[in-house]
A = this chain, B = another copy of it.
Amino acid sequence: MPRTDPTPSAVSAVGALGTGRVADVVNLTELPAAVDEVLGEFFQATSPILEAIYPTVGEAGSALREFVMTGGKRVRPLFVFAGRQCSPPASGDKITLSETPDALAETLRVCAAIELIQACALVHDDILDRSDTRRGNPTVHRRFEALHAARGWSAASGHYGDSAAILIGDLALAWADDLFHGATPTGATDQSAPHRPVPFDATAVWSQMRTEVLAGQFLDITNEVSGDESRTAAERVMAYKTAAYTVARPLELGATLGGADTGLRRELHGIGIDLGIAFQLRDDLLGVFGDPEETGKPSGDDLIAGKRTSLLAVGLESASDADARLLRESIGRELDDAEIAAARGALTRSGAVAEIEREIAERRDAGLARIDALGCPDAARADLTTLAHRVTSRNK
């Protein structure tokens, strides 16, 4: 039998990723493209490995690459970058990250890594939610289901699609760690540039963030089926699945890359929780009251999906008995326009909409005040302020 041994030499050698290719990133607007460049380099390095293992495995890599490269607002990278700017590589307000290429390369790599976490989260969420489309394209499990059917393969197409998407999400999660630590599955190490390990404090935040988002997601799917109506349950999902993962930990992570002290880390984390919860509460309102033309989602989407949001929890707690009954009957099933309008009316009458709007304003203002008080470079505070407005005032 011929031997097909995967020896270390069988894989192509590539240099370290994200070093020096991105000449300059001076503001937030330029960040997404710079992150995409690092991601593109990473996929260029990894594609040949998967192709060499077997052509069908190469298709898994292509699917992941297309998923990551076509779409996504790069929200988490923006907060990593903003956090990193809060602890600049040298003292003084005038030093920007772009003037220290090593620090910039490391930051962009971590930004790219967090987008791979997000890819795993979305690919797996789409299986959990049985979603057919994502960003206008078929979801990964539907893509492989269709490929299975088109090729006339044996057994159930749906189960193959789910199985393929589970493994592709796993690959994204493993690759996220590779990127975070500056490794690639090529096994290549750049001898010309000795490897600089990520600060251990950053690794610790990275660890917390991943556990929190997975725990939050587990709680979310469990609340949906258990019918837990408590505010606490809804708030915990919001705190861990959204606020910690989308804003607080990315901000703190960026700061630890620059060696931030405990005081600054704690303050950025607190700001991130305020902004992240405001972000999620806005999302909750849009999920029931949003205009499908703006959000791209069906009218009353969260009601139909049976999401156990804070908006719903406050509504159920404060509504009249009749309205609470109406709300409970409007959760987790198809609804026509009249039924959606009725549920909206019940939520508004209960005072929940006003209370959620009040908390959004409180959280946003608290976050903005804390940003103003940060002992950070002016440019960093300005960027954080921009982001704070962007995530709390959106209409889609």
A-side interface residues toward B, CB under 8 Å? 1-9, 11, 46, 49-50, 53-54, 56-57, 60, 120, 124, 127-128, 130, 148, 151, 153-155, 159-160, 162-164, 166-171, 173-175, 177-178, 181-189, 195, 197, 200-201, 203-208, 210-212, 214-219, 221-222, 224-227, 231-233, 235-236, 239-240, 243-244, 248, 252, 262, 265-266, 269-270, 273, 277, 306, 310, 314, 332, 355, 359
- Expressed in whole angstroms, the minimum distance between the Cβ of A191 and any Cβ of chain B is 11
Q: Which of B8, B60, B185, B359 contacts A1 (CB 8 A)?
A: B359
CB nearest neighbor in B for A186: B208
Q: Does A208 lie within 8 Å of B185, measured CB to CB? A: yes
Q: Name the B residues within 8 Å of A166 (CB-CB).
A: 124, 127-128, 166, 169
Contact B164 A236 (CB under 8 A): no
List 10 A-B pairs, minimum CB-CB distance, nearest first.
A185-B211, A153-B225, A197-B197, A183-B207, A195-B200, A174-B210, A128-B163, A178-B207, A5-B273, A177-B177
B203 touches A183 (CB 8 A): yes
The A contact surface, by secondary structure, is: helix
Asked whether B8 lies within 8 Å of A266 as measured between CB atoms, the reply is yes
Given known A173-B174, A273-B6, contact A154–B332 (CB-CB < 8 A): yes
Q: Which residues of B contact A310 (CB under 8 A)?
A: 1
* CB atoms of A54 and B163 under 8 A apart: no
Select from chain B the residue with minimum beta-carbon distance to A58: B215
Chain B residues with Cβ under 8 A from A185's Cβ? 207-208, 210-212
Interface CB pairs A-B, < 8 A, 12:
A1-B235, A1-B314, A5-B243, A5-B270, A7-B269, A8-B269, A56-B219, A124-B166, A155-B224, A174-B207, A177-B177, A186-B208
- A61 CB to closest chain B CB, in angstroms? 9
Contacts of A215 in B (CB 8 A): 49-50, 53-54, 57, 60, 171
Residues A235 and B124 in contact in the complex (CB < 8 Å), given A148-B225, A224-B155: no
